[in-house]
Copies of this chain bind each other. A is one copy, B any other.
Amino acid sequence: MNPNPVLVEVLRGGAVESMHRGAVAIVDADGRGMLALGDVSRAVFPRSAVKLLQALPLVASGAADALKLTDEEVALACASHNGEPAHVATARGMLAKVGLDADALECGAHWPGLDTATRELAAQGQAPGPLHNNCSGKHAGFACLACALHGRDGLRGFFGGYVGPGHAVMREVTAALQAATGADLAHAPAGIDGCSIPTYAIPIDRLALAFARVATGQGLSADHARAARRLRQAIARAPFMVAGTGRFDTRVMQALGERVCCKVGAEGVYCAALPERGLGVAIKMDDGNNARAADVVMAAVIEALLNLGSDEAALLRGLSAATLRNWRGTEVGQLRASKELRGALA
């Protein structure tokens, strides 16, 4: 098997110091490939890049409407957030709407993803809990879905063990993922995600197809098509909730609104829906690098596929061709999309 191409280069003093290989699929809702760079048939764990797909039942079940979830709350259900105070408060509020609290969450605890949020928490003498976990909004969304499936009475008991693949909540979530991607998840390689729910390996081009379906509604059930639209709109209106301060998803969607619905996942996975183009995008970096690999590729993809105003173009170019500085602020190099990637996208 040929190795995947180099998609991102890291330069120091004009020389390439490090490089990142990966694969990119861009397809329409009929599954027609617009770009297949690298081995896009490889099955990869999509991790958090498919949180929007996993949130389809939250809306399609009627739970989001019944509980009057706000745009912020719906967006947080699709988030890998920074654990900033607003994220934590919103997740807490979602749980309160179904009579639960942080103790019901099975995602585990970790310090906030944003350094300054971690230092503020430490400065207050506090330690992180499950609400600080970047997946707490997704899990709070699962609690809301559980309420729709079961009702409020005895919800805590019903909800317990929801991260297991056989639980009623997780069966709904997995069925939505299977329907959107068309992948046979019962026979896919399975693993356990960072937040303890199952994750299934899905071909990269199938992930792109799922996001083309999210972009267009085409190929989804009517309920899921409506849910996808609601999720996209909520994220576009509350992009801070899906990530947070300084993060790619937040910055790009603050600038582009509903034109892009993108979501990063661990281990260098990135997915996006581009409604005006009717396209879905899926990226997997071989080495699992997000911040300086998958992000750069996604920026170059968005630059190539959308007509951007000058401010938007400057934002995206700053992400796909970034100046690197050292601790003293001296310019030391560049992070950039490779010529091979730019050429394939041209």
Q: What residues make up the interface of A, taking CB atoms closer than 8 Å to B?
A: 3, 10, 12-15, 17-21, 43-45, 106-111, 115, 118-120, 122-123, 125, 133, 189-196, 199, 201, 267-268, 285-289, 293, 326-330, 332-333
Q: Which 10 A-B pairs have the closest CB atoms?
A: A13-B191, A108-B327, A18-B288, A119-B122, A108-B328, A12-B191, A287-B287, A15-B189, A3-B3, A122-B122
Q: How many Å lie between the Cα of A118 and that of B119 in the bound state?
A: 8
A297 to chain B, nearest CB (A): 14
Contact A288 B326, beta carbon cutoff 8 Å: no
Q: How many Å lie between the Cα of A328 and that of B194 in the bound state?
A: 8
Contact B20 A287, beta carbon cutoff 8 Å: yes
A296 to chain B, nearest CB (A): 13
Chain B CB count within 10 A is highest, among A18, A119, A332, for: A18
Q: How many Å lie between the Cα of A228 and that of B190 in the bound state?
A: 50
Q: A119-B122, A287-B287 are in contact. Are A195 and B327 (CB under 8 A)?
A: yes
Q: A18-B268, A111-B115, A267-B18 are in contact. Are A10 and B288 (CB under 8 A)?
A: yes
Contact B13 A327, beta carbon cutoff 8 Å: no
Q: How many Å lie between the Cα of A19 and that of B267 in the bound state?
A: 10
* Interface of A: prevailing SS: loop
Q: A192-B332, A196-B326 are in contact. Are A17 and B3 (CB under 8 A)?
A: no
Copies in the complex: 2
Contact B17 A44, beta carbon cutoff 8 Å: yes
Q: A18-B268, A19-B286, A118-B119 are in contact. Are A107 and B327 (CB under 8 A)?
A: yes
A16 to chain B, nearest CB (A): 10
Q: How many Å lie between the Cα of A43 and that of B119 in the bound state?
A: 39
Q: How many Å lie between the Cα of A286 and that of B5 in the bound state?
A: 13
Which one of B20, B191, B326 contacts A332 once the chains associate, using CB atoms below 8 Å? B191
Contacts of A192 in B (CB 8 A): 12-13, 326, 330, 332
Contacts of A133 in B (CB 8 A): 327
Contacts of A111 in B (CB 8 A): 115, 119
Contact B286 A193, beta carbon cutoff 8 Å: no
Q: A122-B122, A123-B122 are in contact. Are A196 and B330 (CB under 8 A)?
A: yes
Contact A196 B13, beta carbon cutoff 8 Å: no
Which one of B3, B15, B43, B118 contacts A191 once the chains associate, using CB atoms below 8 Å? B15
Contacts of A329 in B (CB 8 A): 108
